[in-house]
């Protein structure tokens, strides 16, 4: 596991960075390619393709093998990256971003599924703390990285840099990643078509995790989308400055993810972190809604996010048989992304018509609902094997 972990984290970093990197490179690519009226599609094509691809890649990993699925997704991602860097007009860029996102969805779920295949649930939180830290770093660092590459070199480098980095990761994974082959016995033809089997929703904790994920996504994606906008548009911060001002959120997420991972790995107890994470998030959103943006409230949201980001997936994985771990790994990110899209859409209208406080006034009841759902989860022993 230690030999392949850096490569797994690298491909996850690249896929997550490219979710947030386009915002700061948009002015430069519009100046180069034209088609400013279509620039929103550059973001939408990637996000939509990656979201829709998540459960498909998850099921492909269960049926065909997680190593094959991860390498195929990385190849598609690199193909899309090359297309983005070579695009000569906006329509070409949008098409390339769709391919890009299709591969990214496989990387997001593939890394989690591979960790699940190699590490039993009891030990998994230690490694998922690294996954959470990388995800948080990418969410906050994406705009900063995109701005620096564009200012110093070219907006195309924001996409082309994936090729050498992803190529190294591909070679390491081909040589070093060793997984047991999938067990085809007992599969029905319908299994190859089912993306999220309905039978899993009859499992209490899986169903609660499936409900908690979109609530979490709606709150978190709204926060990381509109806090930078508020800091830039209404407090006068630069793109780089807004990233620096978000450091309390990032620091909280990284610290909480490592703390939760170590404690859960040592004790096997996770419900306290599930409830605490949702409660801290609700406290942070309520603080901004009532008192405005401040580092203390961002820190609370970051602490909550760090506890929850991979813990919801862990609950889902621990609730299903090992043959369905790919679906369980995909369900959380997929539903979190859907919730995030819905949350950002609703919050966007409030932000344009009102203020950042209005955005968080709506986010707070959603965060409180997540606390209730977390309290309903039954804490079951984490498995000590991957079977």
Give the pLDDT confidence of 88-100 residue by residue, as tens digits. 888 898 899 999 9
Question: What percent of the chain has a predicted confidence (pLDDT) above 90?
Answer: 17
What is the band of 256 on the pLDDT scale with cuts at 50, 70, 90? confident
pLDDT, residue 8, reads 83
Question: What percent of the chain has a predicted confidence (pLDDT) above 70?
Answer: 85
Mean pLDDT of 341-358: 78
Helices (H), 21-123: 22-33, 39-64, 66-86, 90-118
Q: 54 burial class (0-12, 13-18, 19+ CB within 10 angstroms)?
A: buried
pLDDT, residue 319, reads 82
pLDDT: which is higher, 187 or 56: 56
Output the DSSP codes for 323-348. Answer: GGHHHHHHHHHHHHHHHHHHHHHHHH
pLDDT: which is higher, 279 or 178: 279
Which pTM does this prediction carry? 0.73
Q: 63 burial class (0-12, 13-18, 19+ CB within 10 angstroms)?
A: middle
What is the band of 183 on the pLDDT scale with cuts at 50, 70, 90? low
What is the band of 360 on the pLDDT scale with cuts at 50, 70, 90? very high
What is the band of 197 on the pLDDT scale with cuts at 50, 70, 90? low
318-345: b (≥16 Cβ within 10 Å) or e: bbbebbbbbbbbbbbbbbbbbbbbbbbe
pLDDT, residue 299, reads 93
Task: Give the contacts of 77 (CB within 8 A, at least 6 positions apart).
Answer: 11, 14, 15, 100, 103, 104, 106, 107, 162, 166
pLDDT, residue 373, reads 94
Output the DSSP codes for 88-108. Answer: -SHHHHHHHHHHHHHHHHHHH
Q: Is the pLDDT of residue 191 over 50?
A: no
Least confident interval from 135-139, 272-276, 313-317: 135-139
- Average per-residue pLDDT for the chain: 81
- How far apart (Å, rounded) are the C-alpha atoms in residues 107 and 7? 11
Contact call for residues 106 and 97 (beta carbons, < 8 A): no
Mean pLDDT of 164-184: 81
Q: What is the DSSP letter of 384?
A: S
User: Between the ranges 110-124, 218-232, 258-272, 279-293, where is the mean pLDDT highest?
Assistant: 279-293
Place of tokens 């993306």: 195
Least confident interval from 44-48, 98-102, 217-221, 225-229: 225-229
pLDDT, residue 43, reads 72
Output the DSSP codes for 160-185. Answer: HTHHHHHHHHHHHHHHH---PPP--T
Q: Is the pLDDT of residue 367 over 90?
A: yes
Mean pLDDT of 201-211: 87
**Reduced to 3 states, what is the DSSP secondary structure of residue 294?**
coil
pLDDT, residue 372, reads 95
What is the band of 72 on the pLDDT scale with cuts at 50, 70, 90? very high
Give the pLDDT confidence of 316-328 residue by residue, as tens digits. 888 877 777 777 7
Contact call for residues 305 and 42 (beta carbons, < 8 A): no
Domains and CATH numbers, the chain: 1-177 (1.20.1250.20), 197-387 (1.20.1250.20)
pLDDT: which is higher, 3 or 343: 343
Place of tokens 């007009």: 89
Give the pLDDT confidence of 8-65 residue by residue, as tens digits. 888 888 888 777 777 667 677 778 887 766 766 777 788 788 888 888 887 788 778 8
pLDDT: which is higher, 299 or 30: 299
Q: Is the pLDDT of residue 128 over 80?
A: no
Task: Give the contacts of 178 (CB within 8 A, at least 6 positions apart).
Answer: none
Contact call for residues 298 and 227 (beta carbons, < 8 A): yes
For 37, other C-beta atoms within 10 Å of its C-beta total 9
- How far apart (Å, rounded) are the C-alpha atoms in residues 225 and 184? 42
**Reduced to 3 states, what is the DSSP secondary structure of residue 124?**
helix
User: Between the ranges 39-48, 89-98, 131-140, 278-287, where is the mean pLDDT highest?
Assistant: 278-287
Output the DSSP codes for 284-307. Answer: HHHHHHHH---HHHHHHHHHHHHH
- How far apart (Å, rounded) are the C-alpha atoms in residues 381 and 387? 14
For residue 266 the two structure tokens come to 């040592």
């Amino acid at each position: 596991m230690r030999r392949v972990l850096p490569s797994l984290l690298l491909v996850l970093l690249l896929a997550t960075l490219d979710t947030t990197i386009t915002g700061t490179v948009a002015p430069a690519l519009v100046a180069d390619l034209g088609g400013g009226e279509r620039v929103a599609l550059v973001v939408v094509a990637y996000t939509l393709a990656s979201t829709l691809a998540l459960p498909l890649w998850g099921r492909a990993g269960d049926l065909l093998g997680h190593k094959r699925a991860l390498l195929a997704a990385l190849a598609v991602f690199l193909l899309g990256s090359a297309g983005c860097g070579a695009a000569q007009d906006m329509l070409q860029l949008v098409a390339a971003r769709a391919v890009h996102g299709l591969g990214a969805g496989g990387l997001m779920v593939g890394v989690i599924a591979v960790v699940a295949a190699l590490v039993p649930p009891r030990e998994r939180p230690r490694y998922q703390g690294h996954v959470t830290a990388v995800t948080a770093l990418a969410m906050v660092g994406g705009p900063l990285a995109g701005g620096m590459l564009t200012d110093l070199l070219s907006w195309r480098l924001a996409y082309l840099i994936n090729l050498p980095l992803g190529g190294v990761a591909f070679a390491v994974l081909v040589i070093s990643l060793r997984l047991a082959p999938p067990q085809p016995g007992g599969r029905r033809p319908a299994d190859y078509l089912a993306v999220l089997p309905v039978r899993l929703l009859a499992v209490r904790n899986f169903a609660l995790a499936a409900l908690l994920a979109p609530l979490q996504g709606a709150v978190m994606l709204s926060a990381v989308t509109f806090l930078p906008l508020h800091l830039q548009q209404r407090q006068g911060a630069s793109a780089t400055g807004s990233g620096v001002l978000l450091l309390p959120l990032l620091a909280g997420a990284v610290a909480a993810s490592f703390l939760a991972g170590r404690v859960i790995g040592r004790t096997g107890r996770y419900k306290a972190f599930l409830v605490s994470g949702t409660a801290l998030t609700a406290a942070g959103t309520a603080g901004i809604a009532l008192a405005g943006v401040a580092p203390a409230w961002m820190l609370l949201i970051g602490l909550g996010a760090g506890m929850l980001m991979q813990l919801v997936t862990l609950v889902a994985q621990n609730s299903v048989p090992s043959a369905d771990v790919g679906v369980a790994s995909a369900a959380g990110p997929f539903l979190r992304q859907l919730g995030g899209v819905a949350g950002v859409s609703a919050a966007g209208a409030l932000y344009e018509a009102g203020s950042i406080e209005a955005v968080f006034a709506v986010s707070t009841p959603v965060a409180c609902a997540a606390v209730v759902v977390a309290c309903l989860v039954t804490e079951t022993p984490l498995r000590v094997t991957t079977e």
